């Protein structure tokens, strides 16, 4: 990368400006990375780059002060934006395609004296590209294209040469436009949200953009807010819903000295957190990794098809030379050279893959690269982390066991009255149950929320306590042994217990359970039908709630509970050693080792940032049916690629025979070849998966 590249604004109006720089014409520059690098900025709406002219057009919110930041980024592009080992170029645009088509159409009507110079001038870029390719890479498709043009010019068949050039330009444009469409969607899906956070600055709380946070900032997090940084709690206590981070369905207690990770939700309480890991550089590195996986990688099938295509080019060239040696006909040789297996074989794969990624993204499934798509179509074993994937990670009240002379409704009304203004997930479950029964809640006073323990309140001047056994028995000294037998039975069913006391005595035991996703059962059946022959559930929770969930899902073949993150990764490794191809579905930081070690890592929509980074597939909608859709698209893509390959081989082999035997002319040969290529591309571009059936 050049030092301090000159980037100049050449045109500007409110909300839109164009910049130019020689660095933008660098063949090693990755346009997709650069446009995403700028589009990731808040207030930027659209970025368009033209490497041919070395310019970038940026559209942004005219009321936002974002231009300086854009210019700083363009003048300091990271090394990841340059790929010297894989130069890229922008393909022909629609104007070029139209120009070449028009030039071919008018060629027969030009004076004969002008047709030659006109056609030679049009062919120079193709001829130079073919010569350069021959010297640097050997016999490739560019050499065939140049040979056909050269032979047509040598035979003074100028219309044929120019028509072939127009057809090649059209084929290249179709590939470029299809790829660009899919890439634009991916970049939009990866655009980060412009989050804001509260920090202490000079003794006061101020609201800033998340990318302005600095290491060492004191970040303030209150009820209902997401923790925006990785940091150390320096004061305050809170109950944190860390389901997406730890995989635990119950909230965790955060207090001074405890490290917290971004993504956790403050259910109750308030924290002052010293930021340890912040900055737009970390965010941009994550975006860069996403883009690198999504836009730069090739699947094994694509590498294989490229290798096959390259090997067939010398075959075509050799047949053309053989035909000329046997017949002495340059026309037949040119007809043979106009037929190239590699066009359809090479182009169909990226078009089908990008189109599949595009339609998957439109339907809420982000596939981070061609390898993820290919692997998803071939895996046979699917592993689920329980919490947040097969279950919602939300609690619902399932049992009320009143003591003394209380009724269930009386107990529920008392508990809901005490919990009414408590933001804890347990409180929400109790209130939801009371509302469903249309219960009138008693007036309360002197409410005291004890973080991560429970709530104390006065109802009709009587003290009501609702919370954990630890809170009721150890903190308040109220015995709970009288319900031990019932408590054990409820725990055996995988339920969380809630105790309630009134005026110093235990009056009720309640039970709650994490809710199974309504679509989980049908999704597992559909996944089995799609070819997964082994479904596994893993969890860090205790065995009782895990097996209670498993009892509701008859399609599971294997269940493990009480696991640490490294245990999950070991199970993935063991299944792979058995010869299985494994996909893992998770959403927490604790799932990252397993997501990385699986053949395909799949993250739920509300997954932690680290899990989203580690996964190759992200379900953008909070619905397991996205798995079925992703599997369908992956397998449908494999079928499309198989059909495209053998169609290309069959059609082009037939054309070679016809061209070699003189049955078709050079123009007809080129027209049929390019028509078949475009047809195969159109077939590949229609690859959408069986969406309608799955979404019904």
Q: Please state, in angstroms and as integers, the Cα–Cα distance from residue 81 to each residue in 17, 27, 76, 623, following that order.
A: 22, 11, 10, 35
Average pLDDT over residues 214-230: 83
- Closest to 678 (Cα-Cα) out of 344, 370, 419: 344
Tokens (6 digits) for 637: 């893509």
Quickly state the pLDDT bin for 610 (edges 50, 70, 90).
low
**pLDDT tens sequence across 115-165:** 889 989 988 988 898 888 888 878 777 787 788 788 878 878 788 778 878
Half-sphere exposure of 543 (CA within 13 A, CB side): 2
- Closest to 44 (Cα-Cα) out of 210, 182, 188, 185: 188
Tokens (6 digits) for 263: 């993504």
Are 595 and 392 contacting, i.e. CB atoms less than 8 angstroms apart? no
Residue ranges in 203-278 assigned as alpha helix (H): 243-246
DSSP string, 543-609: HHHHHHHHHH-TT--EEE-S--HHHHHHHHHHHHHTT--EEEEE-SGGGHHHHHHSSEEEE-TT--H
**pLDDT tens sequence across 254-268:** 888 887 777 677 878
Helix (H, G, I), strand (E, B) or coil at 388: helix
**pLDDT tens sequence across 400-451:** 999 988 999 999 999 998 888 776 667 888 998 999 999 988 888 887 877 6
Are 587 and 607 contacting, i.e. CB atoms less than 8 angstroms apart? yes
Query: Is pLDDT at 281 greater than 70 in this prediction?
Result: no
Q: What percent of the chain has pLDDT over 90?
A: 16
- Write down all domains in the chain, each with its CATH number in brackets: 8-89 (3.30.70.100), 91-192+286-379+581-696 (no CATH), 214-278 (2.70.150.10), 392-516 (3.40.1110.10)
Q: Please state, in angstroms and as integers, the Cα–Cα distance from residue 511 to each residue in 298, 392, 515, following that order.
A: 51, 17, 13
How far apart CA 223 and CA 212 sit, in angstroms, is 22
Backbone CA torsion sign across 99, 101, 104, 107: negative
Average pLDDT over residues 494-518: 88
Tokens (6 digits) for 332: 């037949």
Helix (H, G, I), strand (E, B) or coil at 272: strand
Query: Is pLDDT at 284 greater than 60 in this prediction?
Result: no
Show which residues are catalytic. 385
Tokens (6 digits) for 371: 């390898």
- Across the beta sheet with 8-13, what order do the strands follow? 8-13, 16-20, 55-60, 44-50
Helix (H, G, I), strand (E, B) or coil at 527: helix
Helix H or strand E segment including 456: strand 454-459
How far apart CA 485 and CA 35 sit, in angstroms, is 63
How far apart CA 172 and CA 312 sit, in angstroms, is 19
Candidate ranges 228-237, 307-316, 627-636; pick with highest mean pLDDT = 627-636
Quickly state the pLDDT bin for 51 (edges 50, 70, 90).
confident
- Closest to 594 (Cα-Cα) out of 621, 618, 574, 620: 574
pTM over 0.75: no
Query: Residue 129: which residues within 8 A CB-CB, separation 6 or more?
Result: 142, 145, 146
Are 149 and 123 contacting, i.e. CB atoms less than 8 angstroms apart? yes
């Amino acid at each position: 990368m050049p030092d301090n590249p000159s980037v100049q604004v050449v045109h500007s109006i409110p909300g839109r400006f164009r910049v130019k720089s020689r660095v933008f014409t660098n063949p090693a520059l990755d346009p997709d990375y650069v446009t995403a690098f700028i589009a990731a900025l808040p207030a930027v709406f659209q970025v368009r780059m033209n490497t041919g002219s070395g310019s970038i057009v940026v559209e942004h919110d005219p009321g936002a002060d974002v231009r300086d930041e854009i210019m700083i980024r363009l003048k300091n592009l990271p090394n990841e934006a340059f790929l010297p080992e894989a130069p890229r170029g922008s393909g022909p645009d629609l104007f070029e395609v139209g120009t070449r088509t028009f030039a071919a159409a008018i060629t027969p009507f030009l004076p004969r004296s002008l047709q030659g110079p006109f056609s030679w001038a049009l062919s120079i870029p193709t001829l130079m590209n073919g010569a350069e390719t021959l010297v640097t890479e050997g016999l490739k498709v560019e050499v065939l294209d140049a040979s056909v043009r050269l032979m047509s010019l040598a035979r003074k068949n100028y219309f044929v040469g120019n028509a072939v050039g127009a057809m090649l330009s059209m084929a290249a444009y179709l590939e470029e436009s299809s790829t660009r469409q899919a890439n634009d969607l991916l970049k939009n899906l990866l655009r980060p949200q412009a989050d804001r956070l509260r920090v202490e600055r000079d003794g006061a709380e101020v609201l800033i953009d998340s990318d302005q946070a600095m290491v060492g900032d004191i970040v303030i997090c209150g009820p209902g807010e997401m923790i925006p940084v990785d940091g150390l709690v320096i004061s305050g206590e809170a109950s944190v819903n860390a389901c997406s981070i730890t995989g635990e369905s119950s909230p965790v207690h955060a207090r001074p000295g405890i490290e917290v990770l971004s993504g956790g939700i403050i259910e109750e309480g308030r924290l002052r957190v010293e930021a340890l890991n912040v900055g737009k550089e970390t965010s941009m590195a994550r975006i860069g990794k996403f883009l690198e996986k999504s836009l730069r990688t090739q699947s094994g099938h694509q590498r294989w098809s490229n290798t096959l295509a390259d090997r067939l080019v010398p075959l075509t060239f050799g047949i053309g030379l053989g035909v000329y040696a046997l017949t002495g006909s340059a026309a037949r040789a040119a007809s043979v050279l106009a037929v190239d297996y590699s066009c359809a074989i090479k182009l169909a794969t990226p078009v089908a893959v990008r189109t599949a990624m595009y339609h998957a993204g439109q339907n809420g499934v982000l596939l981070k690269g061609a390898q993820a798509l290919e692997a998803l179509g071939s895996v046979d074993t699917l592993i689920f982390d329980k919490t947040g994937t097969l279950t919602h990670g939300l609690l619902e009240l399932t049992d009320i066991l009143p003591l003394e002379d209380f009724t269930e409704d009386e107990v529920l009304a008392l508990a809901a009255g005490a919990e009414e203004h408590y933001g804890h997930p347990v409180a929400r479950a109790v209130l939801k149950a009371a509302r469903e029964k249309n219960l009138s809640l008693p007036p309360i006073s002197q409410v005291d929320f004890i973080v991560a323990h429970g709530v104390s309140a006065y109802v009709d001047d009587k003290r009501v306590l609702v919370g954990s056994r630890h809170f009721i028995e150890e903190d308040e000294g109220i015995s709970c042994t009288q319900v031990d037998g019932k408590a054990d039975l409820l725990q055996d069913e995988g339920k969380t217990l809630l105790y309630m006391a009134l005026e110093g005595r235990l009056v009720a035991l309640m039970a709650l359970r994490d809710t199974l996703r309504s679509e989980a059962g049908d999704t597992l059946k559909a996944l089995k039908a799609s070819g997964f022959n082994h479904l596994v559930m893993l969890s860090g929770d205790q065995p009782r709630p895990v097996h209670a969930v498993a009892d509701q899902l008859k399609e599971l073949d294997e269940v493990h509970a009480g696991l640490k993150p490294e245990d999950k990764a070991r199970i993935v490794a063991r299944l792979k050693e058995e010869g299985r191809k494994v996909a893992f579905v998770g959403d927490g930081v604790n799932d990252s080792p397993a997501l990385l070690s699986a053949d395909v890592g799949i993250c739920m929509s509300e997954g932690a940032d680290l899990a989203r980074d580690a996964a190759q597939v992200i379900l953008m909608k909070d619905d397991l049916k996205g798995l079925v859709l992703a599997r369908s698209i992956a397998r449908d893509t494999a079928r499309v690629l198989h059909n495209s390959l053998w169609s290309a081989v069959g059609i082009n082999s037939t054309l070679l025979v016809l061209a070699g035997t003189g049955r078709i002319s050079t123009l007809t040969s080129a027209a049929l070849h390019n028509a078949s290529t475009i047809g195969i591309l159109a077939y590949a571009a229609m690859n959408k998966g069986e969406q309608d059936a799955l979404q019904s």
